[in-house]
């Protein structure tokens, strides 16, 4: 099973599919929303076949509802497994949230209570999904606008425990950490420092709306300066991790996304160079 390269990628959205498919701009890798390709066939899937022949691909799901108490949607999982078999993606990821109840699916990534009971539940579901897909998935921390009084585990510890117990990897959304830190008064750098170094396999960067009483994760703006700063802290801890620019609303021209990815790539390059010089210095010391 191949892995994502430790470079910058972009989320591939409908307005850019044709340009990416036909012009093949220099991007490290691409991420798509799995559910957009659940059809039996058709032009969207055919385009993705061509794109996947040229770029490493990440399938990022929004509908498996890892934390829902409703039974796991077997039909949804079957369609995902079929897409995974077809595309052989470098990565498959989902969100640490719930989103279905009483036969209804909600269009939101809803927050979980961070309790031992919820942790047990999520870990069972992640293990079940990984068994069906026959591969580890990445689980992403989400932005939230409410917390539960029942929560007695810090979010970062909860996320780390999901990885430790289920064997999944982590998709660290740095913007979501910043948004939650602002909304709930959490220490963002301490959050990053809590996550296990060897489990963070992908990073997301995105923009938010700061115009109201709380910060809203819109994926509709440039990555903000404090998120870039937090990203540098994440690279210092986790090394050069595949990094995605997510932009889902008010989608700009492709060139804007490529410029944003280039900024991430420059930081990834610096991180890799710093680590290489530390290793070289350690070898010199050992040889002396």
State which residue has the least CB distance to Fe ion.
204
Closer to Fe ion at the Cβ: 96 or 123?
96
Choice from 31, 94, 155, 173 touching Fe ion (CB under 5 A): 173
Q: How far is the CB of 88 from Fe ion (least distance, A)?
A: 23
Rg (CA), the chain: 19
Nearer to Fe ion, 125 or 173 (CB): 173
Q: How many residues bind Fe ion (CB under 5 A)?
A: 2
Cα–Cα separations (whole angstroms), residue 255 to 16, 227, 248, 261: 10, 21, 15, 10
**Does 260 help bind Fe ion (rule: CB under 5 A)?**
no
Any contact of residue 13 with Fe ion (CB under 5 A)? Answer: no
SS3 17: helix
CA distances from 74 to 27, 37, 87, 155 (A): 34, 17, 20, 28
Distance, C-alpha 241 to centroid of its chain: 11
Min separation Cβ 246 and Fe ion, Å: 5
* Helix ranges restricted to H, the chain: 14-23, 43-52, 74-87, 116-133, 155-166, 174-184, 188-194, 225-238, 254-287
Q: Which is nearer to Fe ion, 52 or 174 (CB)?
A: 174
Considering the complex, what minimum distance in angstroms separates the CB of residue 197 from Fe ion? 20
Which residues in the 193-232 window bind Fe ion by CB under 5 A? 204
What tokens does 125 get?
């579901």
Residue 120 Cβ vs Fe ion, minimum distance, rounded to whole Å:
25
Q: Does 31 bind Fe ion (CB under 5 A)?
A: no
Contact residues for Fe ion (CB under 5 A)? 173, 204
């Amino acid at each position: 099973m191949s892995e994502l390269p430790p470079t910058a990628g972009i989320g591939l959205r409908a307005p850019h599919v044709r340009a990416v498919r036909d012009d093949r701009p220099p991007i490290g890798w691409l991420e798509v929303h799995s559910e957009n390709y659940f059809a039996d066939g058709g032009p969207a899937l055919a385009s993705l076949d061509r794109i996947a022949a040229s770029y490493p691909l990440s399938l990022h799901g929004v509908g498996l509802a890892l934390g829902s108490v409703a039974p796991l949607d077997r039909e949804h999982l079957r369609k995902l497994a079929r897409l995974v078999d077809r595309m052989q993606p470098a990565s498959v990821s989902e969100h640490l949230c719930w989103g279905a109840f009483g036969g209804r699916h909600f269009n939101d990534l809803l927050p979980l209570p961070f309790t031992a009971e919820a942790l047990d539940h999520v870990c069972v579901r992640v293990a079940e999904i990984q068994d069906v897909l026959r591969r580890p998935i990445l689980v992403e921390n989400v932005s939230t606008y409410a917390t539960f009084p029942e929560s007695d585990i810090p979010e970062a510890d909860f996320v780390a425990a999901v990885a430790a117990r289920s064997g999944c990897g982590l998709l660290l959304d740095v913007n979501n950490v910043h948004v939650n830190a602002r909304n709930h008064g959490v220490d963002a750098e301490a959050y990053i420092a809590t996550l296990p170094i060897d489990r963070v396999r992908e990073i997301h960067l995105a923009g938010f709306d700061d115009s109201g009483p709380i910060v809203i994760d819109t994926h509709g703006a440039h990555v903000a300066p404090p998120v870039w700063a937090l990203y540098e802290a994440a690279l210092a801890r986790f090394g050069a991790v595949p990094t995605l620019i997510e932009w889902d609303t008010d989608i700009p021209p492709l060139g804007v996304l490529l410029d944003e990815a280039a900024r991430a790539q420059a930081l990834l390059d610096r991180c890799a160079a710093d680590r290489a010089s530390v290793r070289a210095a350690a070898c010199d010391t050992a040889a002396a």
